[in-house]
């Protein structure tokens, strides 16, 4: 498909966003009757998550009252974890040709994979937590075992009795031997940090209790660990859509006169407002929000400054182009979003046409990149073809898209880095798989005639889901600049 800049300036979709209520009271959720079992409660909440997303798209106000309590959220996390172990893990283990996976961590030194396997009320590993996932094959369910002093929730069967066998390592060796696995995967990898969670001392102790034959069966869990982390379940997709929508709503409020008073408000004020609003919703931020600005001052664009809060007390004035980078954490999922706003000058009623066109160029680059998604394509191949098509369309592109999910910079293929547009070895060679999510992160350089042809960057980041056939934004995208009125 060939792309032209002219075609991108017309017919772009309108973003669908509603504003959260101004009063954010996380304590307003009502207690459920005692007769409602935890399982029915979780199913009801998951249905509510879907209905909240639907009402937001329909243009109704989303109430913070509809967000579940922390206790109810824990029930959701545990139900989703059960769904993932029962439905996602068998498929990934078979695809990776692994029949036994060992994941372990000592308290406060957690393997990033282990943290995704723990029940919601476990804040960390305890003592030395060892988990074993065994796929018996032939359609049998995954056997999830805990070689641990403490029981690890309801999903892992206790497989160590210290009174009978004081040596935890010997107990682990016995569990492995009894299952006679053909392939034993451990989280040890030189290139993918999220698949490299086993410590050096753990590895030494582990291989010491294995037989020579078992050591020959050891493999890196790279394909398994990355597949487990990157693959989303049906329930997670429903939650993800709501979470991304809430992020959009908070950005819309942050980039409005509710928060910004030109000549008074600083970029740091907006960043901390976003932190406060996230906390009011009992949501986390996996990085501190950054708010930056570009203005007619002939300042050369700097990528590092644009994504940091290194400029203290940067007061916002009419004529400024604002940028935000903001990410939420909720029910173990993460968002990563970037949008722009323009502050009108006193004599302006509309955004300057050159800035409107600049945003359209950013949208066109999004279209080009997303049109290239297909199962099996590598991150480096997707990057190269997208950059070529964008250049042919007259754009000056930079693409640095990354997977999104149980981490912000998550497991999966790296699709460029802002300082590595030629591709990234190994992590960029990983392929795109179905049921995975991405932060479509990129920028275009555009010259603005009203600013003496000064070059600016339109930096966009919107979250999307690839189902194996097509990719779509989880809750729309920005196609119009947020507008802040002058005083």
Q: Which residues does the chain have with pLDDT short of 70?
A: 1-65, 298-313
pLDDT in tens, 196-232: 999 999 999 999 999 999 999 999 999 999 999 999 9
What CATH class is the domain 5-19+233-484?
alpha beta
Chain-centre distance for alpha carbon 435: 13
Strands 454-466 and 471-473, sheet pairing? antiparallel
Helices and strands (H and E) in the chain: how many: 14, 17
Look at residue 138 in the predicted model and tell me its pLDDT. 86
How many alpha carbons fall within 13 Å on the CB side of residue 174?
13
Query: Domain residue spans in the chain?
Result: 5-19+233-484, 77-228
Look at residue 454 in the predicted model and tell me its pLDDT. 96
C-beta of residue 483 within 8 angstroms of C-beta of residue 339 = no
Look at residue 123 in the predicted model and tell me its pLDDT. 87
Chain-centre distance for alpha carbon 97: 27
Look at residue 7 in the predicted model and tell me its pLDDT. 38
C-beta of residue 72 within 8 angstroms of C-beta of residue 330 = no
Look at residue 307 in the predicted model and tell me its pLDDT. 54
pTM: 0.86
Average pLDDT across the chain, whole number: 88
Q: Is residue 381 helix, strand or coil?
A: helix
Burial string for 3-36 (b: 16+ CB within 10 Å, else e) reads beeeebbeebeebebbebeeebeeeebeebeeee
The architecture CATH gives domain 77-228: 3-Layer(aba) Sandwich (3.40)
pLDDT in tens, 256-266: 999 999 999 99
């Amino acid at each position: 498909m060939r792309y032209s800049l002219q075609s991108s300036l017309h017919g772009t979709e309108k973003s669908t966003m509603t504003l959260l209520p101004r009063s954010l009271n996380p304590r307003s959720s009502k207690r459920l009757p005692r007769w409602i079992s935890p399982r029915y409660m979780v199913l009801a909440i998951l249905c509510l998550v879907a209905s909240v997303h639907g009402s937001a798209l329909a243009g109704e106000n989303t109430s913070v009252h509809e967000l579940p309590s922390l206790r109810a959220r824990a029930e959701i996390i545990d139900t989703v974890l059960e769904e993932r172990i029962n439905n996602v893990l068998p498929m990934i283990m078979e695809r990776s040709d692994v029949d036994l996976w060992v994941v372990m961590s000592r308290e406060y030194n957690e393997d990033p994979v282990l943290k995704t396997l723990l029940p919601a009320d476990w804040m960390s590993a305890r003592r030395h937590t060892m988990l074993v996932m065994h796929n018996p094959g032939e359609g049998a369910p995954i056997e999830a075992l805990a070689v641990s002093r403490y029981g690890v929730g309801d999903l892992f069967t206790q497989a160590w009795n210290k009174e009978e066998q004081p040596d935890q390592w010997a107990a682990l060796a016995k569990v492995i031997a009894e299952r006679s696995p053909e392939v034993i995967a451990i989280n040890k990898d030189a290139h993918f940090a999220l698949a490299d969670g086993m410590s050096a001392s753990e590895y030494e102790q582990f291989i010491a209790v294995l037989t020579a034959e078992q050591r020959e069966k050891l493999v890196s869990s790279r394909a398994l660990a990355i597949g487990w982390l990157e693959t989303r379940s049906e329930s997670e997709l429903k939650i993800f859509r709501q979470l991304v929508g809430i992020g959009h709503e908070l950005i819309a409020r942050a980039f409005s006169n509710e928060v910004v008073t030109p000549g008074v408000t600083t970029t740091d004020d907006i960043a901390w407002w976003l932190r406060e609003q996230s906390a009011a919703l009992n949501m986390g931020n996996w990085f501190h929000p950054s708010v930056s600005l570009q203005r007619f001052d002939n300042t050369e664009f700097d990528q590092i400054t644009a994504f940091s809060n290194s400029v203290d007390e940067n007061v916002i004035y009419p004529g400024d182009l604002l940028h935000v980078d903001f990410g939420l954490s909720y029910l173990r999922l993460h968002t990563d979003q970037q949008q722009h706003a323009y502050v009108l000058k006193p004599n302006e009623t509309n955004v300057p046409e050159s800035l409107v066109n600049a945003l359209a160029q950013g949208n066109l680059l999004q279209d080009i990149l997303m049109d290239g998604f297909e199962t099996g394509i590598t991150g480096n191949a997707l990057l190269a073809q997208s950059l070529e098509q964008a250049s042919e369309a007259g754009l000056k592109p930079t693409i640095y898209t990354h997977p999104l999910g149980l981490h912000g910079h998550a497991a999966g293929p790296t699709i460029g880095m802002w300082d590595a547009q030629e591709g990234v070895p190994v992590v960029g060679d990983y392929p795109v798989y179905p049921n995975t999510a991405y932060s479509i992160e990129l920028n275009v350089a555009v010259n603005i005639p009203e600013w003496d042809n000064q070059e600016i960057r339109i930096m966009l980041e919107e979250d999307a889901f690839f189902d194996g056939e097509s990719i779509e934004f989880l809750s729309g995208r920005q196609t119009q600049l947020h507008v802040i009125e002058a005083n």
